[in-house]
Structure formats: C-alpha cells, structure tokens
Structure 1
Amino acid sequence: MTDVLIAGSGPTGLALACELALRGIAVRILERRSGPHRESRGKGLDASSLEAFARLGVAERLCAIGNPGVILRKYFDGAHINDTPAGSNGLLIGQWQVEEVLRERLAGLGVPIEYGAGVVGITQDAGGVTARLADGRSVRAGYAAGCDGGHSSIRELLGIPFEGRTEEKVSMVLGDVTAPGLSRDHWHQWFTSDGGGILLCPIPGTDIFQLQAPPEADERGEPLPPSLESFQRLFDRHARMPGIRLADPTWLSSWQINVRMAARMREGRVFLAGDAAHVHPIAGGLGMNTGIQDAAALARTLAAAVTGPAPEGVLDVYEAERLPVAAEVLADTSRRMERVMAAVREPGRGTEAGMS
C-alpha cells in the first residue's frame, strides 16, 4: 500500500512528494489536469524556499534558470522615473519552471505524475485512506494530502469550511504575452495619476512577460474579461509606447482578492497544504513560498507517522505549526496589499512597497 497519496502537482504537492520520496516513503501523486501547464502564475522564490529546495537537491538548477537581481523600472504618466531593486533575497522564476524542475527531480526518485486523475470521493478508516477517482478507480494509502489549490476538491470532500472573504469584482487581469522591442532587463511598472497602471515582468529564460493590470470596464462599469486586445488597450493607455505591440498570449486569467483559510488543516489521516489551506492577496509574493513551507512541515509530520514509532499526537504537530502561520500570512499580505495600493499613486514607487 502507498504510504502517502498526494492530490495536486503544483509546487506544494511536488515539493511534498520530493521530501517524502527522499526519506524512502512510498508516495503517489495524482493530478486532475491532463498534463503540465506553462503558465507563469506565482513567479518568485524567497530565501526559505531556496533553503528547502537545497535540501531537495534542486536549488542550483533553479538558480541557473531564475533571475536573482530583478530591477523594477518605474514610470508615471508615461515618463520613466527611476529604477529600484525588487528588495528581496529571492529569485524571479516562473511557476511552471519551478514545477518542471521538481517533476524532473521526482522522476529521478522513481515517482511519476498521474495525470487525468481527479479525486471525486474520499473515505478513511483506522488503517488508511481510500480515494475514489473520476474514472472509477480507487486508490488506497496510509495518509493523504490535499495540495490541489484554492478550489480544492479534497477540502470540499472533507467538508472543511474555507473561512474568510472574497471580493465580488475582478481586481486584476493577468496573462503571459510577448512584447517585441521592450527591454527584458527590467520589470516594467507603469502607473498613472488616475490610479491605473500595468506591469510587465520578464520571465527568465523565455521571451514571455507576465502582464498584470486592473481590468478594463464596459459601459456598465463591469470588468471586461482578459484578452490580447484588452491588454493592448491597457498598455497603450498606461505605458504610452506606441511602437510596442503585445502578442502571443499563452495564458489569460482574472484575479479576485481572496482572504480565506481552512478552519482546520487536518481531518483524521488527511491533510491540507498550500492554496488548498489558505489563499491571500498577492502582495509580497508569499503564496507559492508559503505552500512550499507547508510541504516541508507536513513531510516531517508524515515521515514521523509512517516510519514510527512516533509519539502520541504526532499527527497534530503539522496543524499546530502551520495554522497560525497561515493566519499571519493572511493578515500580513492584506497589510502589504494596502501599502502597494497607496505606493503606486506616488511617482517612482511600485510593488517593492509590499516586499517587506
């Protein structure tokens, strides 16, 4: 029987699988998607994540791909104001690049990703956990971890409340695009005196920029969905660089402010980690990093439980450690978001206001 079943092959699930496999624990990782994605999504690793990845033997590979010294180029009403460091000791790197390196490491440890394997049912007893898959199969394991994102099926199947708030309106549109002719030496941040703006961040080792901007509104004031045409109009309005034409969109997304956390991170033999357990504002880039730290903590708890003999209450250690951290991250990122929203109204300031 598998020791640990993991649902979700994002950074949290992959990091947990690697941590456990390196300890000799039999792990199986299920992914409801049909294959890997190539979306930039979360795009930064902090020092704590790099330390965790050093233990997994992948830090050097990630550092060779990413950019440790990103410079923010700030503009206001179309004029270049200044260039400033991002203000962290981390690494700029696309989320898909992180996942690719972790998948390679996991493959080297003999653990494949099982795609098209969404979990639709979960039961547990004194001896383990049984997960029912969408294709009718059942998978048995000693323990299970839901690392399957903010819309976690595992959390919903367990009936764990996801407490907090979600803003009704879309706050931001995002996408991966190319911008031929635009310097890739900087993370470009254009803001305007009317409170608008657009950001283009170069994903290292690619010709892609991650775009972030408040959405356009229609005649009723409702946000328009993300599209290349809308991105170009936003760029023309805020960047005021008529020679630059955005192209080749490979990811289009909308984002709402969510400040939510699971009421608990454990239900018997099943645990939650990463976005499945907590979601919060993006200021500070803590989402992917908090999930990676969850994975390291959960690996310690599961390793103690599987390899035993473990002291009474070992399964309680993970939640006791990480639930207070999740609560503080929600509060911290909300404060950071407020600082960023105030800072961008001042010429020469940008997202660095949320980095500390």
Structure 2
Amino acid sequence: MGLWLAGELRRAGVTVAVIEPRLERDSRSRALTVHPRTIETFASRGVHEPFVSEGMPLPGGHFGVLDSRLDFRRLPSPFPYTLALPQERTEALLEGQALDLGADILRGYEVTGFTEHPDHIAVRIAGPHGPTTLQAAYLVGCDGARSTVRTAAGIGYPGTPSTVLGWLGDVRLDEPPAPGYSSFGPAGTLMAVPMPGGLHRLAGITPRDLTTTWPGDLTLEELRENVIAMAGTDFGLRDPVWLSRYGNATRLADRYRKGRVFLAGDAAHQHFPAGGVGMNVGIQDAANLAWKLAATLGGWAPEGLLDTYHAERHPVGADLTATSRAQVALMTAFTPEGLDLRGLLARLITTLPDLNDRLAAQVSSLAVIYPPTTPGAHPLTGTRAPDLTLGDTGLFALLRADRHLLLDLTGSDRLAAYARTGLHVHTATPYQPPAEFAGVRAALVRPDGHIAWASAEHDDTALAGSLTAALATTHRK
C-alpha cells in the first residue's frame, strides 16, 4: 500500500519518498490474492493489465472455508474474479510504476523517530550512509503490524492476542486437486490454491493448532502429515518454496491520524489472513488517503478533509477485524456443533443468492460505502462508482488522481462550465446504466472512485445549485 500511495501522490504532482528497510524485495509470495476492487483501482489509472496478464484468475473466494464457495462471477464489476499473484510480483509492478512516476525509494533505510512541527514533520532515518533527517509535510506509516511510526506517534493498537496458528506451504504438486479445492472436518481445514509458475499454496489449521504456544517453524514433514490427515493424500507435494506459520492476533489502531502522522495497511489493522483481504484493504486505505493529501498540499482541500481519512477508513478496519474473527471461528469449528453450523451456513450461501452476493461484495471491498455528511444526500453518495459505459469510454478510464470527475448525464453539456473550477467534466449518456443510476442527471466522483454527490434533479437551475453547494464541501472556495 505504501507503493500505491507513492504512485498516487506522484500522479497528483506531489514529491514523495518511500523509506524501505529491505535492500531487496521479499521473494516470498506472502499476500497472494488480488481482489476485484483492487483491480478496479488499478484500472482507474490504466495500470491493471500487467496484473491481469500475470495473475491467475479464480472465479470466487471463500468465507470461513465453508463448503459452498462464494461466486464472484455475480459481482457487478468488470473484474468478477480474484487474481492469484504472489506479493513479490505485485510489489515489483507497483514499485516500477512509482519509480517511473518519479518517486524516491530509499532502500536500506528505516525510520527511527520524528519530531512534529507546526508546518512540517522532521523524520529521522538511518541507513547505509548513516543517520539523516528528512523534512516532509506528512508522514504515513505503512510499516506493518510492528509499526515504528505508530509506536513513535503514541497511537494505541488494542485488540486480542493470538489463540490459533495457521500454516501454509508454497509447493509443487505432482497430483494437484481441482481448482478451488478445500476440505474441512474433525481433522482440520485445508485449502489448495493454484499459483502462477506451477506452484500451489496449501494452507490450513488442525485442532492441535488451537494453541498459544509456538511449536517451532513449520517443516515439510509436518505439512505433508497435515495434508494427508485431511485429504487422504499429499497430492505429491515437493520442492517447497516457502513454509510458514501465522497467528490470529487481531488489532485495530484507535486512530488513523494523529497530527501530521497517518497509518495505513497492517500498521492500522492486523488480523488473520482469512480470504486474502489484508493487502487489498491496505491499498484501499492508500487510495482514500492519497488524493486527500494531494488536495491539501495542492491548496484545494476544504477544511477538515484529512480528518475524513479516519472517519471513513477506521469503520472499514473495524469491519475487517470483526469479519476476520468470525471466519476464524468457522475455520476452527471442529466440534459436531461447529460442523453443523458450517453446514447450515454453506446451504444458505447456496440457496440464497443475495447472501452469496453480500458476502462476496464484502470480501472484495466492493460493498464499502462512506456515509454522506449532508442530510438528504442521494443514495449513491459514498458508494463505489461502477465502470459505466459513457460513449466510447468507461468511467474508470476517466478518473484522475488529482481532481474530481463530474459526470454530466444531462446529455447536453449543461454543466460544462464547471470545468473552470478544476473538475474533469465528461458529458455522455450512460449505456445500460444500473438500476441505481435511473434518473440520475449528474454525479461527482472522487479520485478514489467513490461518489461524492449525485442528483436526479430535473430543473437545470436547481441541479447547478445543488452541485455548487456540494462543491463547497469538497473544494476550498
């Protein structure tokens, strides 16, 4: 998320430096899943194709490894699937973009502390050439669950300790199961996820993993034993690339902003990696914060805009941690009662398409809605803008990192004059708009793809007046 944040800031013309302690990228796959909303975010800057071409598309995901998988093909997105793509490749692509855009990436350096001043923050770093101090307008901690930035800022990180240990192995399988394979029973839970390059990720939990005692590093022999116990075969697993354990410690920063310091990603929220959502939520944190920082530094942000980062993203983090805990409960329900509960929920997902759609939208971040701040706002306000077909282009292709998009859906350039206010104005009648856009004559879309204002007002004068009032809350006068 730090690399996406850096790229977004550079797209908006902001000077940015990324402080990275690692001399080289981590070669382990780590975060493997790229969700639909993340691909949409990349598409809104025209950089999604390398991810789509390299990643392995999978038609769905899971919730608590229930037997009924979530069908992402029903999602209202041009990318109704997840991508299996090792984090190393995701990072490499994002780093290349940030560098091409002019970001400074200082490898081998780490933040050791900072001093905040009324008009800047002095960030102390140490690296290959000794300690030095960087002066910046703001500091964003994207430095993980053990965040130095969060600790130095004195931001609380309350939550619950680990009580469950999951494990994974990225290996080659001579006899791989069918895509989407999972198994659950008294012996434990097991998932097999195909990866690019002929690898598979095997991940799971056994009843003996319900512990607070660290049993040591995972070995290939233990992985094989666990897989056989649950699947009756080891699928011919061999040649491990990465073996790991991880816990379910769950924490949420009590604030995402303190003065000139912000938190994003794991520095703001830690959770069990159920559904592969962590990196994706972090990228959405960055997407929300980047344009607000750019607007503030560019002088067009209204008063209090930066405070809306916490107001909008902290509830998303709270939902993330609660949903993660719920999935851990399902993934460790090895008792007869737990198995019956899992069976009931799996049947409901199969028989109630709306439940499938709601859970799939939640897992994929498509369901995120930022509550409107003004009474009587149109129901679209705060929702994610879909990729409407607008003449010979799509909405995603029109989004910019440095300004709002005004969709003039009147069909006659009635709002063209608003281009003088710094908006990107596009006039077109959407082709086959979704039901929620019925009657909408104009919409204002933020750089992060969420709708700031919409109106179905039929009177042109009243429509312009409503837009002018909305702009007073989104742009400095």
Alpha-carbon offset, residue 309 of structure 1? 4.2
AA at the equivalent of 2:34: L
- Please, which of 83, 87, 99 is the counterpart of residue 71 of structure 2? 87
> In structure 2, what is the equivalent of residue 119 of structure 1?
111
**Residues 209 and 32 (structure 1), Cα distance of their counterparts in 2 relative to 1, 3 Å cut:** same
> In structure 1, what is the equivalent of residue 275 of structure 2?
284
Does structure 2 retain, via aligned residues, the 8 Å contact 1:262–1:278?
yes
- Please, which of 271, 292, 303 is the counterpart of residue 301 of structure 1? 292
- Please, which of 136, 139, 150 is the counterpart of residue 141 of structure 1? 136
AA at the equivalent of 2:254: A
> In structure 2, what is the equivalent of residue 156 of structure 1?
151
Residue 239 (structure 2) pairs with residue 248 (structure 1): yes
Q: How far apart in 2 are the matches of 1:264 and 1:309? A: 25
Q: How far apart in 2 are the matches of 1:146 and 1:61? A: 27
**Residues 251 and 310 (structure 1), Cα distance of their counterparts in 2 relative to 1, 3 Å cut:** same
Give me the TM-score of the superposition, normalised by structure 2.
Answer: 0.63
Q: How many residues align?
A: 329
SS at structure 1 position matched to 2:137: strand
Residue 174 (structure 2) pairs with residue 180 (structure 1): yes
Task: Show structure 1 runs of 5+ residues with no match.
Answer: 1-11, 74-81
Alpha-carbon offset, residue 332 of structure 1? 2.7
> In structure 2, what is the equivalent of residue 321 of structure 1?
312
Does structure 1 retain, via aligned residues, the 8 Å contact 2:189–2:206?
no
How big is each residue's C-alpha offset from its partner over 1:328-356, in whole Å with a ceiling of 9 and x where there is no partner? 22223333443454599468969x98756
**Residues 223 and 190 (structure 1), Cα distance of their counterparts in 2 relative to 1, 3 Å cut:** farther
Task: Show structure 2 runs of 5+ residues with no match.
Answer: 73-79, 350-355, 363-477
SS at structure 1 position matched to 2:181: strand
AA at the equivalent of 1:156: T
Does structure 2 retain, via aligned residues, the 8 Å contact 1:196–1:238?
yes
Residue 94 (structure 2) pairs with residue 102 (structure 1): yes
Alpha-carbon offset, residue 65 of structure 1? 1.5
How big is each residue's C-alpha offset from its partner over 1:301-332, in whole Å with a ceiling of 9 and x where there is no partner? 10111111433223212112211221122223
Q: How far apart in 2 are the matches of 1:151 and 1:210? A: 26
**Residues 320 and 222 (structure 1), Cα distance of their counterparts in 2 relative to 1, 3 Å cut:** closer
Alpha-carbon offset, residue 263 of structure 1? 1.0
**Residues 159 and 44 (structure 1), Cα distance of their counterparts in 2 relative to 1, 3 Å cut:** same
- Out of 122-131 and 39-48, give the one that drifted further: 39-48
| 1:52-71 matched pairs, under 5 angstroms | 52-70=41-59
> In structure 2, what is the equivalent of residue 227 of structure 1?
219
Identity of aligned pairs, percent?
34
> In structure 1, what is the equivalent of residue 302 of structure 2?
311
Residue 247 (structure 2) pairs with residue 268 (structure 1): no
Q: How far apart in 2 are the matches of 1:330 and 1:221? A: 19
> In structure 1, what is the equivalent of residue 376 of structure 2?
none
How big is each residue's C-alpha offset from its partner over 1:43-63, in whole Å with a ceiling of 9 and x where there is no partner? 222222112111232212111
> In structure 2, what is the equivalent of residue 21 of structure 1?
10
> In structure 1, what is the equivalent of residue 389 of structure 2?
none
Alpha-carbon offset, residue 265 of structure 1? 0.8
SS at structure 2 position matched to 1:56: coil
| 1:26-41 matched pairs, under 5 angstroms | 26-41=15-30
- Please, which of 318, 324, 332 is the counterpart of residue 333 of structure 1? 324
User: In terms of Rg, which structure is larger?
Assistant: 2
SS at structure 1 position matched to 2:197: coil
Q: What's the C-alpha RMSD, in Å, of the aligned pairs?
A: 3.0
**Residues 232 and 280 (structure 1), Cα distance of their counterparts in 2 relative to 1, 3 Å cut:** same
**Residues 71 and 51 (structure 1), Cα distance of their counterparts in 2 relative to 1, 3 Å cut:** closer
Alpha-carbon offset, residue 154 of structure 1? 0.8
How big is each residue's C-alpha offset from its partner over 1:165-217, in whole Å with a ceiling of 9 and x where there is no partner? 112x442112322223325x51332333x2413222111x2122222122685
SS at structure 2 position matched to 1:68: strand
Does structure 1 retain, via aligned residues, the 8 Å contact 2:169–2:242?
yes
Structure with the largest fraction of strand: 1
